[in-house]
Homo-oligomer: A and B are copies of this chain.
Amino acid sequence: MRKTTAIDSGNTLRFQKVSDQSLPELACKSIINILKETKIDKKEIDGLIVSSCSTEQYLGSIISEMININPKISTKIENLCNSGTSAIFLAHSLISSGICNAVIVTGIEKQNSPGNKLLWDITRGIYDLPIHWASLFAKTHFRYYNTSEEDLALVSEKNHKNANENPNALFYNKKFSFLDIMNSKKIVDPLKILDCCYPCEGASSILLVSEKFAKKSENPIWIKGISQNNQGASFANISSDLRSVTTTKTASKEAFNQANLKPSDIDIAELHDAFTILEIMAYEDIGFVEKGKGSKFIEQDSIHINTRGGLLGCGHPIGATGIAQTNEIILQLQEKTYNGRQRKNCSRGLVHNMAAAGTSSTIIILEK
């Protein structure tokens, strides 16, 4: 894929359960942090895409006014848990078409987001919380591949440990041992409360720039591949084979083709661990390990995975998550993380973001 779009810089505010800040305030705080850091002038910002499941209207224009920019295009988008990377996809399109040179993508969410429930999918009956499909994925994996509750707990332990090194994580400085996780309350068999991410409040933003503008960037990180796959919206539509998330497999294949790379070329990855089982499935569906061997991959160290703490350790402010995941890869490739979280010698990273039972997934491959 031709180098058209770079990420100049990004910012994530500390995720928290709740605060009295409005959505536009959250976005502005995050964007102002970018404006302090970048060499791109505020007047040169010609696009703004807001990612949120919020029901508030005209957020693109409200935030444009609050940060005092006059973009060529300003709008809000919503695509459930996949909103953040959908916004990045559209921003990349605006830049690679030559329409824009500098696009800010900002993801914002409050804890009581309407995105937390999947109300439209009557194929689930009353089982309208995401954990209901996640438990079926887990049971399928247990049955076919002998994955166990202990394996799931290892994922949670690893990601919470990483979150302890991330001051922006909801569970920063909150320690959970393997036994804490194994003994946590079972919600929907076999998933326990510490197998699940925590819906929370948060904001995360990035500034995408054209090749021309990237010359001003201190440390641009390039989009080498970006792909989304959509297989509808309902669990019934994707449940013929619960061993894989088809959208992740398809989007990965396409993104690796665009980048002319293979999974073993990736040094660091952010995977969508809304539930522990999803991280294990993502290992397999992206191709880091063969199908069925995911549980053996949890403790490997050839690829750094979910170094910010994942959704499990950071919390899940829906519209912000895909952007916060991307920000972690940016910071790691730019060697700008701190608190002992920095991994060495990473030059290529991958972001995996998905929505609603894996009915849609996005993969982004980044390179410094």
Contact = CB atoms under 8 A, between A and B. Distances in A.
A80 B93 contact: no
Contacts of A60: 79, 230
A108 B60 CA distance: 19
A72 B230 CA distance: 7
Contact of A90 (B58, B75, B229): B75
> What is the copy number of this chain in the assembly?
2
A301 to B, nearest CB: 34
B230 A74 contact: yes
A174 to B, nearest CB: 30
B64 A233 contact: yes
Contact of A76 (B77, B99, B228, B360): B77
A53 B76 CA distance: 10
A72 B227 contact: yes
A365 to B, nearest CB: 15
Contact of A79 (B74, B92, B233, B234): B74
A79 B53 contact: no
Interface residues of A, number: 53
A320 to B, nearest CB: 16
A93 B99 contact: yes
Contacts of A73: 86, 89-90, 93, 228, 230
A92 B65 CA distance: 25
B72 A58 contact: no
Given A76-B79, A79-B75, A57 B115 contact: yes
Nearest to A236: B65
Interface of A: 4, 48, 53, 55-62, 64-65, 70-80, 83, 86, 89-90, 92-94, 96-99, 114-115, 118-120, 227-234, 237, 355-356, 359-360
8 contacts: A53-B57, A57-B114, A61-B356, A65-B233, A70-B231, A72-B227, A76-B78, A93-B94
